[in-house]
Structure formats: C-alpha cells, structure tokens
Amino acid sequence: MDLNRRPVASLWIGERLQYLNQLCLKSHLRHGHPVTLYCTDNVTNAPEGVEVRPATEIMDIPMDIVEATSASFLSNVFRYKMIQKTGAIWIDCDAFCHAPFPDEWEHIYAGHGMRGALNCGVVGIPREGELMDLLLDYYDNLPDYPPWWNDRQKKRMDRQKGNDPLAVRIYKTERTAFGPQAFTHFARQTKDHKRAMAPEVLYPVPFQLNDIFYDPHGRVEGWFTENTVSVHLYTNGTKPWWRKNPPLENSYAWRMCQEVGIVPEDALE
C-alpha cells in the first residue's frame, strides 16, 4: 500500500473500535492517506496500517469532563490543536473515504444536513491564521456564554443547578456549541465560510436520513456526485440495533465492509 497522500488523523476515547470506525479509518488507507489514530486507552483492534499514538502527544484529555459530557466532546478542541501541530486533515472516525483528498485543497469543510451550518467532522484549515487563532482562543479561554448565543440560550444555561465546570454547563445547554456552532461562527467572522464546500463533497447524505446506510434496498450512491470525497456515516445517530448487529447484506455499510475488508461480527458494540 503506497501511502503517498496527505496524512489524516482522528481521536478515539475508549478501549475498542466498532466495525464502522474500523471501516472508515481503513478506507483512507486504501486511497493512499497515512492514518494516525490518537487514543486515550490501549486500543488493540485498529486496522492494520493505522498508526496508533497517545492522545497526550497533542493535549491532555480531562476524563472527568468527558464523563460529564460525551466521548466525542473533547474532540472539538483536539482537532484544531492536532491540525496546528501536525498539519494533518482531521477526520471523524465515522467519515468514510470515498475518494482521495486532492493535495491542493487547503480549506476542507462543508455545509451539512438540511440547515446549512458548517460541520467539522472533516476539517482541513491552515495551521496558522485568524480562524485557527479564534478557535483555539475560544476553547482555551471560554467566555461565560458563547458569543453567538441569544438571551433564551443564556437563560437556559443559567437555570442549570449544581457546580459543573463552565464547559460542561455550555455543553448541557447546547450539545453542538463546541462543534458546528463554534466552527460556523468563527468561520463567518473571518469570512472563511465563503470557502466552504457544498454538502455533496463531505456530507452527501443528510444526517436525518442516516438509516439509509443500513437499508439493503437503499440507493445511497444516488446522493453522491462526481465531487463527493467523504461520506459521513453519523454513528452518533445510529440506532442501537446497527451497533449491536452486523449490517444487512447489500446495504451500503455491508457492501463497504466487503469492499474494504472489515468483518463487522468481530467488532460489534
């Protein structure tokens, strides 16, 4: 396998990958992208060829914050620190590589779903620049409220009880305040939102329709165009059945596992 394209990287919090994560990581290898998986634990079931490295090479992961929010919560700051340090393209562990990322692409992000906000499941931005500075400053110096929040959101956060850290209270008010909301806000502030790709490039299937990946009669590829490079599988919205059982024969998830060489039965939830 000739890994001569741009490196990609992701973060995994936990001890074991599920088959869809294995599938997505390995899909980048087959298109020539070196893949690094930064881990908080000793992950032993990463696909062959994926370089597993400690997450602490990029930043410390406060597990108390993770336990109070979600396993993916800290990835929102980790991705930008990783890009700044290594220059790799960030990929979520549920982003399937449909085609290689062109070498000349410097800004890699796109609108997502049916609302048009920018998603940050696949991100490439310059290691130095105003957008990177604003994102890292936001995470490193959290304001009392995200600057784009309205009075209703602020009041909802104020009604929370307990002594949770500020980051946890923001998360409990708006789960996407550290992900798409922040990325969209600061990209608009720097005018980089004008560089965003169309959803078909990175998120061809809307989140609301993610069951189609498991439908043996579904036509997932009907959503793709010649511009599609990545296909987000949205595992955070996957129904428990598909995490605990192998995909049905002829579904997109089943066909891609066959094509890439992943055995779902070996890595069910």
Per-residue pLDDT of 156-166, as tens digits, reads 999 998 889 99
Angle at 71 between CA 66 and CA 76, to 5 degrees: 85
Q: How far apart are CA 153 and CA 174, in angstroms?
A: 8
- Percent of the chain, pLDDT > 70? 99
The total number of residues shown for the chain amounts to 269
- Percent of the chain, pLDDT > 90? 88
pLDDT at position 115:
65
- What the chain holds in terms of domains, given with CATH numbers, is 8-142+180-267 (3.90.550)
Q: Is 44 helix (H, G, I), strand (E, B) or coil?
A: coil
Give pTM, 2 decimals. Answer: 0.96
CB 201 within 8 A of CB 97: no
What are the pLDDT digits (tens) for 82-125? Answer: 999 999 999 999 999 999 999 999 999 999 765 668 999 999 99
The average confidence (pLDDT) of the chain is 95
CB 208 within 8 A of CB 114: yes
pLDDT at position 10:
98
> What average pLDDT score do residues 177-206 get?
95
> What average pLDDT score do residues 162-173 get?
93
Closest CA to 124 of 137, 110, 109: 109
What are the backbone dihedrals phi and psi of residue 252, each rounded to the nearest 5 degrees, phi first?
Answer: -60, -45
> What would you report as the CA-atom Rg of the chain, rounded to the nearest whole angstrom?
18
For residue 222, how many other CB atoms are within 10 A of its CB? 9
pLDDT at position 167:
94
> What average pLDDT score do residues 58-86 get?
93
pLDDT at position 237:
87
State the virtual CA torsion across 55, 234, 94, 256 in degrees, nearest 10.
170
Closest CA to 86 of 44, 34, 13, 137: 34
Q: How far apart are CA 25 and CA 10, in angstroms?
A: 9
Q: How far apart are CA 211 and CA 237, in angstroms?
A: 9
Q: Is 89 helix (H, G, I), strand (E, B) or coil?
A: strand
Closest CA to 229 of 142, 124, 153: 124
Please give the sequence-ordered ranges of beta strands (E in DSSP) within 33-80, or none if there are none: 35-39, 51-54
Q: How far apart are CA 266 and CA 162, in angstroms?
A: 41
Q: How far apart are CA 257 and CA 55, in angstroms?
A: 27
Q: Which two tokens stand for residue 45?
A: 């079931």
